[in-house]
Amino acid sequence: MRTVGSGRYELEAEIAKGAIGTVWRGRDTATGLRVAVKQLRPEAATQPELVEAFLAEWRILADLDHPCVVRARELVRGGDTYALVLDLVNGQDLRRRLRTDGPLPPAVAADVAAQVADALAYLHGLGIVHGDVKPGNILVPVDGGPVRLTDFGVAQRVGPGLPGSRATHATPEYVAPEVITGQPPRPATDVYALGIVLYELLCGRSPYRGGGVSEVLWRHATCVPVRPAGLPEPLWRAILDCLAPDPDERPAPAALATRLRGLHAALDGLAPLPALGPDMVTWWPRSAEQPAPVVAPRREEWVTAETPRGTGSDLPVPMGPAVRSVPVPVSPAPAWPAPALPAPAQPAGPVPGFRQRSRLVAALLGAAALVVVLAALGAIALLGSPGASGGSGHPVAVTSTQPSGPPSEPPSGPPSSSTTPTSGPDTTGAVTGNQPPARPASPPAKPGYDPSPTPGTIGVIGPGR
């Protein structure tokens, strides 16, 4: 059996593997206790910057002692071996929990977020920014104990006298706008991420998920989440406060925790919201924001289902293959304006009858286009005969001016002031001669629409400073 620490820690089973490290379920032979061992992979141990980041994570963890933060026991060094010995949490991370059970009841989601806020208040009081708050880094013990915040691979110390360094890695779905523009992470950066997490706990998915990394970052910078029907007003206000574009306007973690716990009586008994599907609107350009209608959720009892024996992740630092993790360099992004889109009548998600209305609108637009085409052809018949003035004899093209939604990829730089595409002539809805309009290869993107049934690209889980 493999061991580390001069044979003290036996590595019993691999429970997760990432690009730079492996997490093992181990046993401390001196005490008989089960532990988690996060070991730097041999190829990563030869790269000084990765080793330094690993040691920096240990230096931060060594000073921490809080019930909602995973505890580090020891750093093991020897030759090319670098390993962190951590408490083993018997349970699942919230990401896997959401995939298995769906959205949490509002009261449970608020309680979980309050516990994470407690952990953040503790960290920020020590001048530490976590930098990667997300469901995959929040562990839920099966024994009902406090949730644990884990994975301090990108955490850093901030405060007076400390040089602020910009983030080099981030998870796109949870990164704050100020980090996207190149500013150093700050305590309010963690609060923003917690606001995204709270939305996901209630709805089953984050609001800006879907598409490429640049698209997700663009939404953080220029869009707002859409309130799903049934999401309680007090929780919605808390989410919006956490997602305030100005970091100074976001609540402090301690105040947020108190606020969320104060909602327990009002939220107790509310049933979970239905999970948001990939065709539901979850974001909208900030300039087109409108209030979303609210449907009162029903009340019913909810019982936490215990994780079956042997199926818990036991994952102190989730780095498993289920997470498609890639390093995402965060660089200053251009200030893209919100795309010119028609304001929605009801930008709420889920949107009842969304597909039916889309088909009705398409039918009406098609009928209007047909009328225009027939009118144009009639004009040709009247004016285009031999000897008549004004007849050109060229095919007539009728181009629809109906916007097709946001681009599938955000612009790589500030857009031109002209609304005419620079890549070529606009042939949307063109009808030439007697030929029918060409069918698009794929439907146009819709605001807040995630065309992918799988989660968008997730970056990070790796040291970066």
Residues identified as active-site: 132
Helix (H, G, I), strand (E, B) or coil at 92: strand
| Residue indicated by tokens 């889109």 | 341
Rounded distance, CA 166 to CA 169, Å? 9
Whether a cis peptide bond, with omega within 30° of 0, leads into 463 is no
| Cβ–Cβ under 8 Å, residues 307 and 91 | yes
| Pairing assessment for the beta strands 458-459 and 325-326 based on DSSP bridges | parallel
459, two tokens: 């970056």
Distance, in Å, from the CA atom of 128 to the CA atom of 248, rounded to the nearest integer, reads: 17
Identify any residues that bridge with 459 across adjacent strands, giving them in sequence order: 326
Compute the distance between CA of residue 287 and CA of residue 302 in angstroms, rounded to an integer: 38
Nearest to 292 by CA among 373, 378, 207, 209: 207
Q: Is the separation of the CB atoms in 197 and 203 below 8 Å?
A: no
Contact 273, 200 (CB under 8 A): no
Q: At what angle do helices 187-203 and 106-125 cross, to 10 degrees?
A: 170
